[in-house]
C-alpha cells in the first residue's frame, strides 16, 4: 500500500527549464527526507519549452521551505531557487 502524503500549505522553492532537471532535484530532496511536488512537468515535456515562460515548478510544504532551500543549495541547484 502506498503512503499518502498530506501537505498543509505548499511553497514554490525552485523553477526549472525542463522536467528532467526538476525531477533530479525532486529525487534529491526526497532522498534527504523532504517531500515535494512538481507542477507543469507534463506540459514542459509535451511542448519542450516552446511556450514562453513555461517552467517546471518544485514546491514543498511551507514548514520544510528553509530545509529544502538549504538542501538544494548544497546539491548545486542554487541557480534554480526562487528568491523573494
Structural domain span for residue 23: 10-80
Q: What is the pLDDT of residue 2?
A: 55
4 in any annotated domain: no
For all residues of the chain together, what is the average pLDDT? 81
3 in any annotated domain: no
Q: Higher pLDDT residue, 69 or 57? A: 69
What's the CATH number where 50 sits? 3.30.70.1530
Question: In the structure grid, which three cell numbers stand for residue 11, read together?
Answer: 511553497
Question: In the structure grid, which three cell numbers stand for residue 68, read together?
Answer: 529544502
Report yes or no: 15 and 77 within 8 Å, Cβ to Cβ. Answer: no
At residue 54, the 3 state secondary structure works out as coil
75 in any annotated domain: yes
pLDDT, tens digit, for every residue of 39-57? 765 455 555 555 555 688 8
Q: What is the pLDDT of residue 31?
A: 96
1 in any annotated domain: no
Q: What is the pTM of this model?
A: 0.77
Q: Grid cell 511536488 — which residue? A: 37
Amino acid at each position: 500500500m502506498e503512503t499518502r502524503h498530506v501537505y498543509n500549505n505548499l511553497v514554490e522553492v525552485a523553477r526549472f527549464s525542463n522536467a528532467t532537471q526538476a525531477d533530479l532535484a525532486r529525487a534529491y530532496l526526497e532522498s534527504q527526507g523532504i517531500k515535494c511536488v512538481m507542477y507543469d512537468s507534463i506540459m514542459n515535456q509535451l511542448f519542450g519549452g516552446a511556450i514562453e515562460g513555461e517552467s517546471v515548478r518544485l514546491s514543498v510544504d511551507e514548514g520544510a521551505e528553509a530545509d529544502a532551500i538549504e538542501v538544494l543549495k548544497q546539491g548545486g541547484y542554487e541557480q534554480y531557487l526562487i528568491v523573494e
